[in-house]
Amino acid sequence: MAAYPNVRFLKSAQEPVHFHEDLGVEVAFAGRSNSGKSSALNVMTGRKDLARTSKTPGRTQLVNFFELDEGRRLVDLPGYGFAKVPPAMQQHWRHLIGAYFKQRQSLVGLLIIVDSRRSLGPTDLQMIDYATSRGCPVHILLSKCDKLSRNESTKVLREARVTLGDSATVQLFSSISKEGVDEARKAMELMLAGPADPVSG
């Protein structure tokens, strides 16, 4: 049986006023464009086509809300770091992400998807700051690890652990080979089971 038999798409928001009602708990998926956020969300929920995946990154700047089951949501945040994004779109991204982290009472955890063939970028680190500064735990998925040899993956994981220290937990992940999917789901469930941290100030 599917892990989440009732998982469903709720809505896409292009503006903060369109965010889903801020009740219950939710875990957000963030990461560079094309890092594999939507693929991770699909494989973790066991639903192939829940979130749209694409080979052309940075096209849409939407916050997509999904319901796992009553009162528990996953949020696919718009990707960042795509070189060809026009300034107006970058500004819109900052507006959306800024509002999301500032307002969202139901945010209880952040999953950051980082392509295992690249290192953690400045915006990834900024996402960690946003989350930890409001007491939100962060878990990193080093994605597409099917593209690396065993030796390379071990090295990448070790280096990420050094960079992150105790600011976030981290693991290897592949939506293709399914390596690390159970571990990622456990981390997500742990976050969802935790109390929502009220936004201060």
Ligand X SMILES: Nc1nc2c(ncn2[C@@H]2O[C@H](COP(=O)(O)OP(=O)(O)OP(=O)(O)O)[C@@H](O)[C@H]2O)c(=O)[nH]1
Q: Which chain residues interact with ligand X by CB under 6 A?
A: 31, 33-39, 53-55, 57, 79, 143-144, 146-147, 174-176
Query: What does 84 bind: ligand X, Mg ion, none (CB cut-off 5 to 8 Å by kind)?
Result: none
Nearer to ligand X, 63 or 196 (CB): 63
Nearer to ligand X, 34 or 153 (CB): 34
Query: What does 116 bind: ligand X, Mg ion, none (CB cut-off 5 to 8 Å by kind)?
Result: none
Nearer to ligand X, 107 or 181 (CB): 181
Query: What does 143 bind: Mg ion, ligand X, none (CB cut-off 5 to 8 Å by kind)?
Result: ligand X
Least distance between ligand X and beta carbon 89 (Å): 12
Least distance between ligand X and beta carbon 105 (Å): 25
Alpha carbon distance 39, 192 (integer Å): 20
Task: Say which amino acid occupies 197.
Answer: D
Least distance between Mg ion and beta carbon 37 (Å): 5
Positions in the binding site for Mg ion (CB under 5 A):
37-38
Tokens of 129: 């700051």
List beta partners, residue 169.
139
Report which residue's Cβ sits closest to Mg ion: 38
Nearer to ligand X, 147 or 161 (CB): 147
Least distance between ligand X and beta carbon 23 (Å): 26
Nearer to ligand X, 171 or 175 (CB): 175
SS (H, E, C) the chain: CCCCCCCEEEEEECCHHHCCCCCCEEEEEEEECCCCHHHHHHHHHCCCCCCCCCCCCCCCCCEEEEEEECCEEEEECCCECCCCCCHHHHHHHHHHHHHHHHHCCCEEEEEEEEECCCCCCHHHHHHHHHHHHCCCCEEEEEECHHHCCHHHHHHHHHHHHHHHCCCCEEEECCCCCCCCHHHHHHHHHHHHHCCCCCCCC
Least distance between ligand X and beta carbon 108 (Å): 21
